[in-house]
Amino acid sequence: MAQRERLSLGEAISELIRRGANAGAPAVRDHGMQALRGRFALLPQRDETITPQHVRELMEREGI
């Protein structure tokens, strides 16, 4: 792909990752399960950007 489209290897890999992420996986909503993308559960979208500070605060609360 990189050679055919005259992209660097990094650009080709990034494009393939974007395509895979945007392809979507079938939603699994049976029996209270969350939708999956690959092996990861997708959480509902929120109007909030998670920052490193959010992560640090959560880790402190959880004792991690």
Q: What is the pLDDT of residues 12-58, one digit of tens each?
A: 999 898 888 777 655 545 555 566 667 777 777 778 888 999 899 98
What pLDDT is recorded for position 58? 87
Q: Of 16, 36, 34, whose CA–CA distance to 26 is shortest? A: 36
What pLDDT is recorded for position 56? 92
Query: For the whole model, what pTM was predicted?
Result: 0.38
The residue type at 47: D
What pLDDT is recorded for position 50? 83
- Phi, psi for residue 60 in degrees, rounded to 5: -65, -45
Which is more confidently placed, 5 or 21? 5
Cα distances (angstroms) measured from residue 6 to each of 1, 2, 9, 54: 8, 6, 9, 40
What pLDDT is recorded for position 24? 63
